[in-house]
Amino acid sequence: MMNLQFITRLIQHYKPATAAVSAHCDGPCGVYDPSSARIAAEAVLSMTKKILDLQPPAAGDVTARVAYENTISRYIAIKEEQAQITKDELLILWTDYFKPQHLEQFPDLHTTFWQAAKLCSSCKVEVSQQHASDLMSAVEKIHSMFWATKNREVAWYTAS
């Protein structure tokens, strides 16, 4: 006669649980790297510059106006999306990677992340090249902190 654990194993095999629960950890659950935040922040800065540089069409030119509105809408949507991605990536580093001992190493760690997250919000709300550049600087600082906790020297670089 089949025992119960054999039955549940069959159920697990053929109809596995669809909901997951995390025995949350750092090391085994993936690779942390501030570069994902950096790429998104670069996109925010790039989109901000493109929005500021985009020239509005001449009055009365309907075709050009439609094209302009389409382009500006896409720039804004991408800026919004990438700023949120930057914030998500930073919050993952802040809450999941960094530990109390890192706070001893960098007493301004919380302030740095808090201000960086605020800058992500500012970049969504505004079209500010200054704030987008400040966000890049904040991500660079976090990059330095992150790799210092691993005793590794990883040079800061940008893709654009």
Partner 1 sequence: MSPPSPVQLINGVEFLLWLAGRRQRLVVYHRSMVPTLQPGDEILFNPRSYTQRRPQPGEIIVLVHPQQPGLPLVKRVERILEEKIWVVGDNGEASTDSRQFGAVDLPQVLGQVTCIFSRPVLAVPLKPPARR
Q: Which residues bind partner 1 (CB under 8 A)?
A: 4-5, 7-9, 11-12, 16-17, 19-30, 85, 88, 91-92, 95-96, 99-100
Cβ(44)–Cβ(86) under 8 Å? Answer: yes
Closest CA to 75 of 104, 44, 100: 44
- Three-state DSSP state, 132: helix
Q: How far is CA 19 from CA 22, 24, 35, in A?
A: 10, 15, 30
26/126 with CB nearer partner 1: 26
The total of other beta-carbon atoms located within 10 Å of residue 139's CB is 27
Per-residue tokens: 112: 């740095």
19/62 with CB nearer partner 1: 19
- Give me the least distance between CB of 131 and partner 1, in Å please: 23
- Give me the least distance between CB of 20 and partner 1, in Å please: 5
- Give me the least distance between CB of 74 and partner 1, in Å please: 21
- Give me the least distance between CB of 36 and partner 1, in Å please: 10
106/134 with CB nearer partner 1: 106
24/152 with CB nearer partner 1: 24
For residues 8 and 100, give the distance between their C-alpha atoms in angstroms, rounded to a whole number. Answer: 41
